[in-house]
A and B are shown apart, each in its own frame.
Chain A
Amino acid sequence: MVAVLSLTGLGLLLGLGLGVAAKFLRVEQEDGRIAEVEALLPGSQCGQCGFPGCAPAAAALVAGAAPVTLCPPGGRDLVEKLAALLGVEADTAGMAETVPMLAIIEETQCIGCTKCFKVCPTDAVIGATRQVHNVLREACTGCGKCVDVCPTLAISLEPVPATLQSWTWHKPPRELPVLNAPLSTAGASC
């Protein structure tokens, strides 16, 4: 009788403890994942996903309110990483291979209004009032915020030009299954 009671009491006590711990732990876990997702996102707060910044976007991702393909600057790499972290299936097949972009200011059209460098999240635009502005290539993320505010349409986004150091081999085209291949094509080599 004593054994039954003590074990029941112990079970109830531990169950209560677990319940309380679960409540605390769930909050911790959720927070941790949001921080992890936010660390993966580019962090330029460009707003292309429709959220005001990367932190709200991360919260929405963890809550499942946004698709993992939401971040255009992150590209395919980011989608794969997010899908792995959040444990969801991501369809990257339809995604176009994004190339890094760079804002270019057409000097003849720039009136030096300073609107673009006020919105640039990374301070990549330099200039002063009534002076022609320019873009620092190393700092530009290609988010396109400056393009939207330019009153004279002087800013355009262009792919980052390749250099000898940044050039890499393209992926080989997928080999197709050969049905009834003629014998003459086999065995020939240099």
Chain B
Amino acid sequence: MLNRDWLTRLRLRWGVHPLGRKEQGNREGILTLPLPSRLHVPMLQHTGQPAKPRVTVGQRVRKGEMIAARQGNISAPVHAPTSGTVIAIGDYPAPHPSGLPVLTVSIDCDGLEEWVDLDPPSDPFALAPEALAAKVAEAGIVGLGGATFPSAVKMALGLRTQVRTLLVNGSECEPYLSCDDRLMRERAAAIVDGMNLIRHAVGAETILCGIEDNKPEALAAMREAAAPFPHIALRRLPTRYPMGSDRQLIQVLTGREVPSDGRSADVGVLVHNVATCYAVHEALRYGRPLISRIVTVAGGAVRAPRNVEALIGTPARYLVEQCGGLSGESARLVMGGPMMGLELASLDVPVIKGSSGILALDASELPSATPSPCIRCGQCVTACPMNLMPFEMSARIRTGALDEAVGMGLKDCLTCGACSYVCPAHIPLSHYFNYARGELTRRERNTLRQESIRKLVAERSERLERDAREKAEAAARRKAERERAKAEADAARAAKAAAKAAEESSA
């Protein structure tokens, strides 16, 4: 085993080793938070289309009741995290660096925690794989590692492409975060059951679970829980960032590389996070939808950092208050991990399905230096897990040559931030890549919009032409009618005159 680790370390030429600081939060057990007075449940907590509210203001909802249905193929429903009354459906600040509002259902909790009638299958293993995926979709489960991709869609894809191996991601490579660590230590049996259920739902043969070697207790707990199942193998991974990225995890665990334009299913594997496995277990064994998650509350400005189990929609401020509150001023608030998490403008935003952590960092935990010019040292190239050249790409993006940056592999970038972390010149490399990708999407959207507008213009000119033509035709018709009437009148007059003349002549 030791030999294997040593080989892996030698083989992997990417990644960085940020200071873990996981001991801040992983010493104490998971604290189930007391019920807050009000919850704000956003309709967009997943990748894809937002969910559509199915409740009205003033309506009473029970815990676990579906309050919003999914829209489109890639979407997930949202459930009431507790029983209470819907007091508002409208815009509320999203947990996002932009601070923009998102459609949110606000619920006043009544404190009764009254569940809807749960209907768990008596034996989920007796159900067809498709039926299991449908139940997972109904439960609103999304990837809890941070990507928040609807799990049922992924499971259906795995079944369709006949994956052989289910990879379970327990690496938790982001510094500070220890929610998966505590979950594995305390609820290993449930996670293992969830793994087996997903294995059944995707028709995989073996399960490979990777856990970084900075979590020995979690690894031991999982080994014990998985001992009765010969098809589950647990692997100790070297601690390195970004080990938790699916492409890197697949590379380390299976030795296979996912093609640049492909998905993990193309190499016969499917990756799910340990927390997702736990949510699947809850949904299929007890019928409970995804209404809560484990969140790491940490950072130098938090008095008593620890992991809490919070209902979706709980204000971040409430979480921090329950962990002793802030000691002095926090220099930066982050949702998620410090490497890839999103900066928050304030704590008055709700916890969502993808919130693995709420961090209140103090000034000593932030980089203090200002950016200086690139010295082309190449450290970012060594650190890049996708073998890209971040310094070359950022130079092109700075001058606006986005197409050249795309040619150098911008679309393969994970925006993991390893390059920004090692850069001795403190250049915000991954910020450049985030900007460039946003800009490219914007341009794509613009092109589509221009096409639709061109169509509108063409339709309008066609309509105007048709109108003019019809008007001209109508005018011509009227003119012809007038002339005919005139000719008829003339003819009648002439006939009359002729008759008169004839009368006169005969007389």
A167 contacts B by Cβ under 8 Å: yes
Q: Which of B29-37, B239-247, B428-436 contacts A (4 or more CB under 8 A)?
A: B428-436
B100 to chain A: which residues have CB within 8 Å?
162-164, 167
Cβ contact of A123, chosen from B371, B442, B443, B459, cutoff 8 A = B459
Chain B residues near A174 (CB, 8 Å)? 398
Nearest CB to that of A189 among chain B residues? Answer: B367
* Contact stretch, chosen from A1-9, A11-19, A38-46, A107-115: A38-46
Contacts A42-B450, A77-B446, A190-B366; A172 near B432 (Cβ below 8 A): yes
Identify the stretch in A25-33, A148-156, A178-186 within 8 Å (CB) of chain B at 4 or more residues: A178-186
Q: Which of A123, A187, A189 has the most CB of B within 10 A?
A: A189
Given contacts A169-B435, A175-B427, are A122 and B453 in contact (CB under 8 A)?
yes
Q: How far is the CB of B138 from chain A (nearest CB, A)?
A: 25
| Chain B min CB distance to A185 (Å) | 5
- Which of B365, B372, B445 has most chain A Cβ within 10 Å? B372
Partner of B370, one of A43, A44, A185, A187: A185
Of the candidates B19, B424, B457, the one whose C-beta lies within 8 Å of that of A43 is B457
A171 to chain B, nearest CB (A): 5
Asked if A44 and B102 make an inter-chain contact with CB atoms under 8 angstroms apart, the answer reads no
Distance between Cα atoms of A124 and B441 in the complex (Å): 24
Interface range, A side: 35 or more
Collect the chain A residues with CB atoms within 8 Å of residue B434's CB: 169
Pick the contact of A122: B361, B371, B439, B460 (CB < 8 A).
Answer: B460
A172 touches B338 (CB 8 A): no
- Residue A87 CB within 8 A of the other chain: no
Given contacts A168-B442, A175-B427, contact A123 B460 (CB under 8 A): yes
Q: How far is the CA of A44 from the CA of B451 in the complex (A)?
A: 10
Contacts of A169 in B (CB 8 A): 431, 434-435, 438
The distance in angstroms between the C-alpha atoms of A124 and B371, with both chains bound, is 46
CA of A162 to CA of B338 in the docked complex: distance in angstroms?
Answer: 26
Give, as a whole number of angstroms, the nearest-CB distance from B330 to chain A. 14
The answer to the question of A48 belonging to the interface, with a C-beta cut-off of 8 Å to chain B, is no
Among the interface residues B361, B367, B371, which one has the most CB atoms of the partner chain A within 10 A? B371
Does A188 sit at the interface, judged by CB under 8 A?
A: yes
A130 at the interface (CB under 8 A from B): no
> Does A177 count as interface, using CB distance less than 8 angstroms?
yes
Name the residue on A nearest B425 (C-beta): A175
- Give bound CA distance, A167 to B445, whole Å: 12
The reply to whether B98 and A164 form a contact with Cβ atoms under 8 Å apart is: yes
User: Contact: B431 with A172, CB < 8 Å?
Assistant: yes
Chain A residues contacting B361 (CB-CB under 8 Å) are 190
Residue of chain B at shortest CB distance from A45? B457
Residues of A within 8 A of B371 (CB): 172, 175
Of all chain B residues, which has the CB nearest A124?
A: B456
> What separation, in Å, do the CA atoms of A43 and B369 have in the docked complex?
48
Q: A188, B368: Cβ atoms under 8 Å?
A: yes
B122-139 interface bits toward A, Cβ cutoff 8 Å, 1 = contact, 0 = none: 000000000000000000
C-alpha spacing A162/B96, complex, angstroms = 13
Please state if A121 and B457 are interface contacts (CB–CB under 8 Å): yes
- Asked if A141 is an interface residue, CB under 8 A from chain B, the answer is yes
Is A170 an interface residue when CB atoms closer than 8 A count as contact?
A: yes
Q: Tell me the smallest distance from the CB of A105 to a CB of chain B, in Å.
A: 18
Residues of A within 8 A of B427 (CB): 175
A139 within 8 A of B: yes
Report which A residues bind B (CB closer than 8 A).
42-45, 77, 80, 121-124, 138-139, 141, 162-164, 166-172, 174-178, 181, 185-190
A selection of 19 A-B contacts at a CB cut-off of 8 Å is A43-B450, A44-B453, A80-B400, A124-B456, A138-B452, A139-B452, A163-B100, A166-B442, A167-B98, A168-B438, A169-B431, A170-B435, A172-B428, A175-B371, A175-B427, A186-B424, A188-B368, A189-B426, A190-B338
Ranked nearest first, the 7 interchain pairs of A and B with the lowest CB-CB distance are A168-B438, A175-B371, A43-B454, A122-B456, A169-B434, A178-B372, A169-B435
